[in-house]
Chains A and B, each alone.
Chain A
């Protein structure tokens, strides 16, 4: 199984849990497609139309930080954990 940790505001907007567990898949794109099936429209807030992660997001896959605007098509381990983070500004 693969766990996707979502920004709390985005999760709330789509009625998703902050951490969504999904069936293992070959690539990050496949996992996000599954996520979008469960919460229609959510992935348009995570990916650009060309399949890259949106630039204001910081994405970690299995503890490794992806370069900004990485393609989501990278291969995943079966138990991968994906963290999709956005900055907050409260102080």
Chain B
């Protein structure tokens, strides 16, 4: 940690931070510690906005922001550092502008670029702690691995719909991969663009990240054991799940097998494109829209598999579709030389099945959103077929 102006608090510092300096757990020494700390916030989005605002207000001396995105109108319901006047600005510039208004006595470092395997280690090396507010799985595994290699603590959170997840990963006490060794198959877990996010949930989780980050910086943790926290906004409930380092973890285990940064796009099943994944790219892997599916269906050789159960299938299905259980995919009777379109109710099961078929050499595609997106078109087909029977 740096120790420049923080060695001597000014009268302005004492006035600004008086309400937290008075806390016996913090005091003058704690404030000095915060003012000499360096925190990197990955992602200046919804989580990053809430976390960075509180870290800046608390007087964290150097606050880094890394994000290569720009501000859009659709960000504003949850990304509280940005506003209408900043649409089109880089997110780091917009966030830095607002953070400077909150606290002009701290240093804001803008890193207007996406985090990648090429820059992560250099960036992380300059900070004491990482707050992870990234919005895609490749970045989450990249943040984890870089932090493990450099022995930096990470305060991690993720949000979706009315749900939040949070964990503090301290060196030697378990990492993200100890909890989730592999990412879900592409398209099986929707992102906020697809599934939505209740904006204030981001505020809750981002604020919790700031609390946990400040506790780590100040050594305020009552017991530094690892725990995974789950927030259910609709039920107004938190759940705390203790966990330990996995001795078999590929990165932080007893005999790690990953010892350098890798291609995280490829690891997450998104091809080997080294550019930052966008939410759309993550959810669209091997999936097609209803319009694209209709064009595919012009090919008479296309195999259409409906992997819902028979009762669901009989309520309505695509023309030429055949009902196929997951078990049947282990011994397929259809050709590997022809494309396959996989369909289910909402696109979750078909995404799993598509991934499975692709692992076995099929050119498989999942109908994004499933039959729910097919709507009136398929209802008409179902009615026609029932009439014929």
* B-binding residues in A (CB < 8 A): 8-10, 12-13, 40-41, 44-45, 49, 55-56, 58, 60, 63, 65, 67-68, 83, 85-91
Q: Report yes or no: A91 in contact with B309, Cβ–Cβ below 8 A.
A: no
Which residues B132-190 have CB closer than 8 A to chain A?
Answer: 132-137, 140, 157-161, 163, 165, 179-185, 188-190
Q: Give Cα A42 to B272, complex, Å.
A: 32
Q: Report yes or no: B241 in contact with A88, Cβ–Cβ below 8 A.
A: no
Q: Give Cα A91 to B278, complex, Å.
A: 12
Q: Report yes or no: B190 in contact with A68, Cβ–Cβ below 8 A.
A: no
Q: Give Cα A90 to B191, complex, Å.
A: 6
Q: Which of A8, A58, A63, A87 contacts B161 (CB 8 A)?
A: A8
Q: Give Cα A45 to B157, complex, Å.
A: 25
Q: Tell me if B358 is interfacial: C-beta within 8 Å of chain A.
A: no
Q: Give Cα A60 to B132, complex, Å.
A: 24
Provide the residues of chain A in CB contact with B362, threshold 8 Å: none
Q: Tell me if B48 is interfacial: C-beta within 8 Å of chain A.
A: yes
Q: Given A67-B248, A87-B137, A91-B46, does the pair A45, B184 have CB atoms closer than 8 Å?
A: no
Q: Tell me if B228 is interfacial: C-beta within 8 Å of chain A.
A: yes
Q: Which of B136, B246, B248, B326 contacts A89 (CB 8 A)?
A: B136
Nearest neighbor of B48 in chain A, beta-carbon distance: A91
Q: Given A40-B309, A89-B135, does the pair A83, B241 have CB atoms closer than 8 Å?
A: yes
Q: Report yes or no: B348 in contact with A9, Cβ–Cβ below 8 A.
A: yes
Q: Give Cα A9 to B185, complex, Å.
A: 14
* B interface residues, tally (CB under 8 Å): 55
Contacts A90-B197, A91-B45 supplied; 17 other A-B pairs, CB < 8 Å: A9-B190, A12-B346, A41-B326, A45-B352, A56-B180, A56-B182, A58-B228, A65-B244, A85-B241, A87-B140, A88-B163, A89-B140, A89-B160, A89-B189, A90-B46, A90-B160, A91-B159
Provide the residues of chain A in CB contact with B130, threshold 8 Å: none
Q: Give Cα A86 to B349, complex, Å.
A: 15
Provide the residues of chain B in CB contact with A85, threshold 8 Å: 165, 228, 230, 241
Q: Tell me if B210 is interfacial: C-beta within 8 Å of chain A.
A: no
Q: Report yes or no: B192 in contact with A90, Cβ–Cβ below 8 A.
A: yes
A57 CB to nearest chain B CB (Å): 8
Q: Report yes or no: B239 in contact with A68, Cβ–Cβ below 8 A.
A: no
Q: Which of B243, B279, B327 contacts A65 (CB 8 A)?
A: B243
Nearest neighbor of B135 in chain A, beta-carbon distance: A91
Q: Give Cα A78 to B50, complex, Å.
A: 42
Provide the residues of chain A in CB contact with B344, threshold 8 Å: 13
Q: Given A13-B348, A55-B181, A63-B242, does the pair A89, B330 have CB atoms closer than 8 Å?
A: no
Q: Tell me if B345 is interfacial: C-beta within 8 Å of chain A.
A: yes
Q: Report yes or no: A91 in contact with B133, Cβ–Cβ below 8 A.
A: yes
Nearest neighbor of A69 in chain B, beta-carbon distance: B181
Q: Report yes or no: A90 in contact with B135, Cβ–Cβ below 8 A.
A: yes
Q: Report yes or no: A13 in contact with B192, Cβ–Cβ below 8 A.
A: no
Q: Report yes or no: A13 in contact with B326, Cβ–Cβ below 8 A.
A: no
